[in-house]
A and B are shown apart, each in its own frame.
Chain A
Amino acid sequence: AQKITQTQPGMFVQEKEAVTLDCTYDTSDQSYGLFWYKQPSSGEMIFLIYQGSYDEQNATEGRYSLNFQKARKSANLVISASQLGDSAMYFCAIKDTGRRALTFGSGTRLQVQP
């Protein structure tokens, strides 16, 4: 069984600063993918970044980067230069080859303060 743990129910960050959202995972599969999604108040799920378990380099997408530490089973999301529009719920998710759907963590609500 897979499990995603997000230990931060809520986070505050000042505009223009960087913030790290924590995510740890548990899976028995050797091949898996880790995802981060942003969910604004409108409800849509916006894909941010993906990291494959065999990727040697940390994934980056613009202001988003994923700090992947495989031995620790962690996949933290780093948002640099926070903007007011970054205020939203952020979900970490995992997909392995056995289970085709995503398993989501409980989410972290990020609030960017001016």
Chain B
Amino acid sequence: GAVVSQHPSRVICKSGTSVKIECRSLDFQATTMFWYRQFPKQSLMLMATSNEGSKATYEQGVEKDKFLINHASLTLSTLTVTSAHPEDSSFYICSAGDLELEKLFFGSGTQLSVL
């Protein structure tokens, strides 16, 4: 089956620094990628939809300037958490879909801890 690679799997950073998370589709072209955030023992909440070659669409309440998304190619989307704060500590997970979005595949997730 299709594989989505996400890294790093875990990152610890100091407050105020920026962290970049990569999501790659390994064997298919992902015109659309989705970024989710999951707090402990909670569900996945959609943060933004990333479209190749265009601006991302953010969900209500998600700060565009804090969570920068770049989808420069059909196989790579990045999420940059800028000026991270402890409240940004969470599990971030991406998913990628094919052209018809009939199937969505998830990366393995990134656990971000901001000290």
Contact = CB atoms under 8 A, between A and B. Distances in A.
Interface in A71-112: 91, 95, 100-107
B19 interface: no
Contact-residue bracket for chain B: 20 to 34
What is the predominant secondary structure among interface residues of chain B facing chain A?
A: strand
Contact of A44 (B49, B97, B102, B106): B106
A100 to B, nearest CB: 5
A102 B104 contact: yes
Contacts of A100: 32, 34, 49, 97, 101
Interface residues of A, number: 19
Given A43-B93, A45-B95, A95-B101, A103 B46 contact: yes
Interface in B29-43: 32, 34, 42-43
A107 B91 CA distance: 16
B95 A102 contact: yes
Given A101-B34, A104-B43, A106-B43, A43 B108 contact: yes
Contacts of B42: 106
Contacts of A42: 108
Contact of A91 (B44, B101, B104): B44
A45 B43 CA distance: 12
Contacts of A107: 43
A107 B43 CA distance: 6
A45 B34 contact: no
A12 interface: no
A37 B43 CA distance: 12
Contacts of A101: 34, 46, 49, 95
A103 B97 CA distance: 15
A86 to B, nearest CB: 19
Contacts of A47: 103-106
Interface string A20-37: 000000000000010101
B75 interface: no
Interface of A: 33, 35, 37, 42-45, 47, 50, 91, 95, 100-107
